[in-house]
Chains A and B, each alone.
Chain A
Amino acid sequence: MTTGTEPHLNSGGVRSGTRAAIAEPHLRTDRWWLAPAVTAAGLLAFVVYSTWRAFADTYYYAAPYVSPFYSPCLADRCRTMHAGPNADLFGSWWGLSPAIIILIFPLGFRLTCYYYRKAYYRGFWASPPACAVAEPHKKYTGETRFPLILQNIHRYFFYAAVVVAGILTYDTVLSFRDEHYRWGHMGLGTLVFLVNIVLIWAYTLSCHSCRHIVGGKLKHFSKHPVRYRMWQWVGKLNARHMLLAWSSLVSVALADFYVYLVASGAFDDPRFF
């Protein structure tokens, strides 16, 4: 994977017949394996954590905070959250953790995201592990076939992600209540939620599909001045898409973990007012 061991080479690559006869699959002398290794480790850590939390089906609500992993909560078994994101669309037959239903969307959004694609193609699939480092695969068809051709539906996940971000925004507003649902209060959790929702929005809006939809698809910016400005604005965010992808990933995990700590009683939410 990303260990720095030399990949096995096939005949079609840099050592094929007509190319310069160099035995090494690459001659890089820098620590080229570091970036994919760190990426893989980070993604793996998140996958482990989120799998545990998604299936845990517990400690996801501590009034007024609801874990972003469980919002909106769409099954009968969901805890009742006062004025919270409850909508029993699935009824009682849903026996698994209600997080599974909704996590599909942010998961799909991130899985098909142009940045994450690069990250996991490089980190997990070593395709390629790093630039000018030979990849270990015999054949490569990229995103031309099933299942990877499905990456093209990214924009639909983007639409869904906007809805989810909207709901999380609602949750953040609700966090301006105290545990007795009285408005006008704020605790450390509120701050955590605020930071999280800003990063979620920034990541969502910095999406390449979003950039395309707001203006990138146009041929003449000059005929659409408003969309042109939006495109420029999204473009600025988009330049930081990787940074936002990681920071929002961390912040959403932290927000969930915060709720877990408070809900499980391991930590008392400090109230500011």
Chain B
Amino acid sequence: MSSYEARFKVWRGDVKGGGLEDFAVEVNDGEVVLDIIHRLQATQAPDLAVRWNCKAGKCGSCSAEINGRPRLMCMTRMSVFTREETITVTPLRAFPVVRDLVTDVGFNYTKAREVPAFVPPAGLGPGEYRMQQEDVDRSQEFRKCIECFLCQDTCHVVRDHEENKTAFAGPRFLMRVAELDMHPLDAAADTGLDRKATAQDEHGLGYCNITKCCTEVCPEGIKITDNALIPLKERAVDRKYDPLVWLGSKIGRRRT
């Protein structure tokens, strides 16, 4: 087993300020960036703040930016870097920093609350739900989301424009709208809630310019843009820009 000494730059500080701090640290075969951060904690910087949990890419806690790219530290193997490279680790840069690698991700929890929950169909009790696999496949893909918020971090709509945070839910929560709209038994429409229209009117779907960074950074490989955001945009078009559909709904033809 070979080990070597790697050079790291880790951002340390808090909301009042901070900077990149240099470290030289041992790296062993098969390790990931999070292992190195932990080694720093145990040997050189015991109060280095970092969020982590499962260490297997399942909980989405250890999101950070490594060499400028939003990634999960536990899923970034050291072997993807050369030994000579200096590896820079910073907190997520779209959210307010708390300390060191920890950011305030409250934005995402606020947005989560703004998406109306699943509406159970009237007249179906527990145990009576029947759904076909092909009907749940789409929403299941979106439910793979581990809420690491890397998509929210990388999305330029809010990353580069703080002022858009009020109007824009971000890819994760637009995908949640899509998930509910594609749920075979969601009965939101029966209560007068049109998820297709609210995606645009209330969750800021129009801000998305489908430049696909959310899909690029998704550690779960969810095709956020192609399978959630664009279909949602098309569904919004159905409601708002399609005269045939508009006419059809006026005349009273039932939607599928």
Contact = CB atoms under 8 A, between A and B. Distances in A.
A12 B213 CA distance: 19
B74 interface: no
9 contacts: A14-B94, A22-B19, A27-B67, A143-B208, A152-B240, A208-B226, A208-B234, A220-B184, A221-B135
Contacts of B134: 221-222, 228
A122 interface: yes
Contact of B96 (A18, A22, A216): A18
Interface string A148-174: 110011110000000000000000000
B157 A122 contact: no
B172 interface: no
Contact of B210 (A118, A131, A223): A118
B200 to A, nearest CB: 8
A105 to B, nearest CB: 18
B90 A127 contact: no
- Range of interface residues on chain A? 35 or more
A211 B216 CA distance: 21
A22 B93 contact: yes
B160 A13 contact: yes
A134 interface: yes
A17 to B, nearest CB: 8
Interface stretch (B10-18, B24-32, B54-62): B10-18
Contact of B160 (A14, A144, A211, A217): A14
Contacts of A153: 241
B154 interface: yes
Nearest to A118: B211
A271 interface: no
Interface of B: 11, 13, 15, 17-20, 65, 67-70, 85, 88, 90-91, 93-97, 103-104, 132, 134-135, 153-154, 156-157, 159-164, 182, 184, 204, 206-213, 216-217, 226, 230-231, 233-238, 240-242, 256
A26 B68 contact: yes
Given A22-B90, A127-B209, A12 B163 contact: yes
Given A18-B15, A219-B256, A221-B135, A131 B162 contact: no
Contacts of B93: 14, 19-20, 22, 132
A218 B256 contact: yes
Given A12-B162, A19-B97, A132-B93, A27 B209 contact: no
Contacts of B242: 155
A117 interface: yes
B182 A127 contact: no
A256 interface: no
Nearest to A141: B207
Contacts of B90: 20, 22, 27
A239 B226 contact: yes
Given A19-B96, A117-B210, A152 B241 contact: yes
Contact of B156 (A16, A20, A127): A127
A185 to B, nearest CB: 42
A32 B113 CA distance: 35
A134 B206 contact: no
A114 B238 CA distance: 16
Contact of B211 (A121, A154, A221, A222): A121
Interface of A: 10, 12-14, 16, 18-22, 26-30, 114, 117-118, 121-122, 127-128, 131-135, 137, 139-144, 148-149, 152-155, 208-209, 211-212, 216-224, 228, 238-239, 241
A239 B135 CA distance: 20
B194 to A, nearest CB: 13
A114 B230 contact: yes
B17 A134 contact: no
Contact of B213 (A131, A134, A218): A131
Given A21-B17, A143-B207, A217-B235, A12 B161 contact: yes
Contacts of B217: 131-132
A30 B88 CA distance: 13
Q: Which 3 pairs, one residue from A and one from B, show the smallest C-beta to C-beta distance? A: A27-B68, A28-B68, A18-B96
Contacts of A132: 65, 68-70, 93, 153-154, 159, 213, 217
A27 B9 CA distance: 11
A142 B226 contact: no
Given A22-B90, A142-B157, A142-B208, A222 B132 contact: yes
A142 B206 contact: yes
Given A13-B161, A18-B15, 18 more contacts: A21-B17, A21-B19, A22-B20, A22-B93, A29-B68, A29-B85, A114-B230, A117-B209, A127-B209, A131-B213, A132-B159, A134-B160, A137-B160, A142-B208, A142-B209, A208-B230, A220-B184, A221-B135
